[in-house]
Structure 1
Amino acid sequence: MSVIDGYPTTALSTATVRARVPIGMDRGRPVRADMISFEGLADSGEHVAVQVPAVAGRIPLVRIHSECLTGDVFGSKRCDCGPQLDEGLDAVAEDGGAVLYLRQEGRGIGLYNKLDAYVLQDTNVDTFSANRMLGRGDDERQYAVAAQMLRALGLERIRLLTNNPEKVRQLREYGIDVVDVVPTRVHSNPDNERYLWAKASLGGHTLAVS
């Protein structure tokens, strides 16, 4: 068995529970989707998938979304996470596929560390430098569990909704056939312009920001 970054590339996981849930999209119309839990994931995290049946003739669309309590739940304007989650759910509802919700708060450093990083950012430090000042990596997320989840769902040939080339690279290394990369929209506001600039200029995200 081959290993990348400490994770087995062919480790098996299974989808354990499928709960039918009406998911509210941006447009206000609920879509009935399956919310799925897993066992046997590489990091033992409580990651979930929201899956909508594939549309005939279309390669399933997948959005891998890392948890952001401040943006996803409380509507923080310091990032673009909440709007990206809404966009991903809406796009998957149209095309069929899945949104994988990974419990990797703060690009993997955790919620409390992310709040500490916010304080540092208020002193004109960019988001990546703030992580390093806390003794953490620029981006500590791993996508081995995403590859495991996709295999468990039978989604090994996908289109990926992302502006992050690292997601594409890791999924392909873990054996997922990413046949197309669909860019997300730029969700900018006066409070997240510096954050988006850092993602594009320092993090390599393909965002059209000035």
Structure 2
Amino acid sequence: MTQPQIANSPLNTKYGTFELYNFAWSDNEQDNVLALVSNFEGNTPLVRVQSACYTGEIFESTDCDCHWQLETGLHRIQKEGGIFIYMLCDGRGAGLLTKIRGMNITAMEGLDTAEAYERLGSPLDPREYERAAFVLKHFGVASCRLLTNNPRKIAGLKECDIDVIREEHMSDPTPQNESYLRSKAKKLGHMMKPFGTDG
């Protein structure tokens, strides 16, 4: 893997102050990975790897739980210490255009997210985690407690020689997002107790 350019700055948030790092593999925005670091002790910090969801995180769409995941992850990492890694790849890596097209199919035809992506000929989750692992290794992290429900995320970091202890990161389903969450559990294998896919 090529070496990225790195910039950093303090970032004041409503959760507290983080040290914000930008890892830039090119001038293309999607080739940047952000890391919000809160002081941590020990060799197994709390880590959240989150992919962009502009509709949920910026516009607070009620059709997903991405805003909840963002806020809860930042709150816990600020409180407990750790690293929040933010990947600029919306639509689970399929891109914003595919995501919005899929959302329209879901709204107009009642298909779930997985079915909509299949209709569009898009992989359900093409994300890769080498850059997230690079960020962790940059901070000397070889083992982490990962806030996730996604087994692909765990496997992706393990393939890059990061030891992972999974910590559940599950919101309470709502009438608006239950179908979306159920699709993630049943069709993408996410570990979610409300849908019987987690222990």
- Poorly superposed stretches of 4+, deviation over 3 Å: 12-15
Whole-angstrom CA distance in 2 between matches of 1:73 and 1:133: 27
For these two proteins, the number of residue pairs brought into alignment is 192
Offset from partner CA, 1:177-209 (integer Å, 9 cap, x none): 21x110013242211110010011111111122
- Amino acid aligned to 1:48: L
The 10-residue stretch of structure 1 (68-77 or 143-152) with the greater mean CA deviation from structure 2: 143-152
2:172 aligned with 1:163? no
Where does residue 113 of structure 1 map in the other structure?
A: 98
Offset from partner CA, 1:45-100 (integer Å, 9 cap, x none): 1211111010x347210000000000000000111101000010011012111110
What secondary structure does 1:209 align onto?
helix
Instruction: Report which of the two has the higher share of helix.
Output: 2
Any unmatched runs of 5+ in structure 1? 1-10, 26-30
Asked whether the equivalents of residues 84 and 187 of structure 1 are also in contact (C-alpha less than 8 Å), the reply is no
Asked whether the equivalents of residues 43 and 141 of structure 2 are also in contact (C-alpha less than 8 Å), the reply is no
Where does residue 8 of structure 2 map in the other structure?
A: 18
Whole-angstrom CA distance in 2 between matches of 1:15 and 1:61: 25
- Amino acid aligned to 1:95: E
Asked whether the equivalents of residues 13 and 148 of structure 1 are also in contact (C-alpha less than 8 Å), the reply is no
Asked whether the equivalents of residues 52 and 97 of structure 1 are also in contact (C-alpha less than 8 Å), the reply is yes
Aligned-residue Cα RMSD (Å) equals 1.8
Cα separation, partners in 2 of 1:70 and 1:61, compared to 1, 3 Å: same
Asked whether the equivalents of residues 22 and 32 of structure 2 are also in contact (C-alpha less than 8 Å), the reply is yes
Where does residue 7 of structure 1 map in the other structure?
A: none
Whole-angstrom CA distance in 1 between matches of 2:172 and 2:70: 11
What secondary structure does 2:122 align onto?
coil
Whole-angstrom CA distance in 1 between matches of 2:31 and 2:135: 12
Where does residue 196 of structure 1 map in the other structure?
A: 181
Where does residue 169 of structure 2 map in the other structure?
A: 184
Cα separation, partners in 2 of 1:166 and 1:149, compared to 1, 3 Å: same
Cα separation, partners in 2 of 1:64 and 1:14, compared to 1, 3 Å: same
Give aligned-pair identity as a percent: 33
Offset from partner CA, 1:8-43 (integer Å, 9 cap, x none): xxx364572121011223xxxxx11111011448x9
Whole-angstrom CA distance in 2 between matches of 1:181 and 1:121: 31
